[in-house]
């Protein structure tokens, strides 16, 4: 197995850079035939087949994000946005290049991570909170606010499997917005919910922007890019093709399909 030679470092410096990415590369090994088994691995080795092909997902990315910036990352499905986010979050390892995170970063790759249908709403709140780094005492003090915000009435002691999907999302979102970090990573978390819920999301973003919170938002909704972002980055085929004003990037994004 090839060891990654890229680095991801977390620092805490008093300068105005929140994230710096230099010469970032990432590729995945995709199994060409079913390689999930010792037998297949053995035969592949005998036949001299590698059993996978290399898929380059990110090719030499370079950018910097300043503290207090609200950045949008846009691109087609499969362009490498989520992979980039996962590398920033420390879930994937960079294959080549340097990623530097200055400050405490809280990622939301998905709402309601770890939610379990067999647990009650209350139990899920505590579990999800623990995954976000909150202690039991902190959750105790926030619990009522979280529950009220989600507007789920007397469902707290019902198992999550008895919630509608919309209710689950509302609960997950109410916990998520409690997270405090220097940098927030959000992956399409707003693409769900009814009109009233969308309004809540919008208010939340507006508040983040007012507070000068550093946010990286991966989205397909150009109206959000125009409304909230200070800057946007367009990724195509694993490369940054445009890094600039939100309006300019949103227009370029929509032109991809023309």
Partner 1 sequence: MSIPRVLNRKNRILLSELTKTDFKLRYQGSVLGYLWALLRPLMMFAILYIVFAKLLKIGSDIPHYPVYLLCGTTMWSFFTECTQQGIQAIVVRGDLLRKISFPKYIVVVSATLTAVINMLINISVVIIFALINGVTPSWSWLLIVPAILELYLLSLGISFLLGSINVKYRDITSIWDVVIQALFYAVPIIYPISMVATTSVTAAKIILLNPISQAVQDIRFNLITNETITTWNFLNHPIYALIPIILTIGLLIFGALVFRRKSKFFAEEV
178 contacts partner 1 (rule: CB under 8 A) = no
- Min separation Cβ 11 and partner 1, Å: 15
- In whole angstroms, give the CA distance from residue 205 to residue 110: 17
Residue 190 and residue 224 in contact, taking contact as beta carbons nearer than 8 Å:
yes
Residues 104-133 that bind partner 1 (CB under 8 A): 107, 109-110, 113-114, 116, 118-119, 123, 126-127, 130-131, 133
Question: Nearest 5°: phi and psi at 73?
Answer: -120, 120
41 contacts partner 1 (rule: CB under 8 A) = yes
The contacts of residue 10 (CB under 8 Å, 6+ apart) are 90, 101, 105
The site for partner 1, by CB under 8 A, has a size of 31
- The span of 68-76, 88-96, 195-203, 234-242 binding partner 1 (CB under 8 A) equals 88-96
- Min separation Cβ 203 and partner 1, Å: 25
Which one of residues 12, 15, 36, 255 is an interface residue with partner 1 (CB under 8 A)? 36
Give me the DSSP letters along 40-102. HHHHHHHHT--SEEEEEEEEEEEEEEETT-EEEEE--TTSSHHHHHHHHHTSSPPSEEEEEEE
| CA distances to 115, 130, 146, 175 from 155, in Å | 15, 21, 13, 16
- Min separation Cβ 255 and partner 1, Å: 32
Q: Give ∠ CA 204-207-213 in degrees, rounded to 5.
A: 105
Task: Give the per-residue contact string, 136-165, with partner 1 (x = CB under 8 A; - = no).
Answer: x-----------------------------
- In whole angstroms, give the CA distance from residue 187 to residue 113: 13
- The span of 12-20, 33-41, 207-215, 226-234 binding partner 1 (CB under 8 A) equals 33-41
206 contacts partner 1 (rule: CB under 8 A) = no
Residues that bind partner 1 (CB under 8 A): 1, 4, 28, 36-39, 41, 86, 89-93, 107, 109-110, 113-114, 116, 118-119, 123, 126-127, 130-131, 133-136
């Amino acid at each position: 197995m090839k060891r990654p030679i890229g680095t991801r470092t977390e620092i805490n410096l008093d300068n105005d850079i929140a994230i710096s990415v230099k010469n970032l590369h990432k590729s995945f090994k995709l199994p060409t035939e079913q390689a999930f088994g010792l037998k297949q691995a053995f035969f592949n080795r005998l036949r001299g087949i590698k059993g996978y092909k290399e898929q380059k997902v990110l090719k030499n990315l370079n950018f910097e994000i300043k503290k207090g910036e609200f950045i949008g990352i846009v691109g087609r499905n499969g362009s490498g946005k989520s992979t980039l986010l996962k590398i920033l979050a420390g879930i994937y390892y960079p294959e080549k290049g340097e990623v530097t995170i200055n400050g405490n970063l809280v990622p939301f790759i998905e709402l309601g991570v770890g939610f379990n249908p067999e647990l009650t709403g209350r139990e899920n709140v505590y579990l999800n909170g623990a995954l976000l780094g909150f202690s039991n005492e902190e959750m105790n003090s926030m619990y009522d606010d979280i529950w009220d915000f989600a507007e789920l009435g007397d469902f707290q002691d019902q198992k999550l499997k008895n919630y509608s999907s919309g209710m689950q999302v509302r609960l997950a979102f109410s916990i998520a917005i409690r997270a405090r970090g220097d940098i927030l990573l959000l992956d399409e978390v707003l693409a769900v919910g009814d009109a009233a819920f969308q309004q809540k999301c919008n208010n939340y973003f507006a508040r983040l922007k007012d507070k000068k919170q550093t946010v990286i938002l991966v989205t397909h909704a150009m109206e959000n890019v125009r409304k909230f972002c200070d800057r946007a980055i367009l990724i195509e085929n694993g490369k940054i093709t445009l890094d600039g004003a939100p309006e300019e990037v949103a227009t370029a994004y929509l032109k991809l399909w023309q």
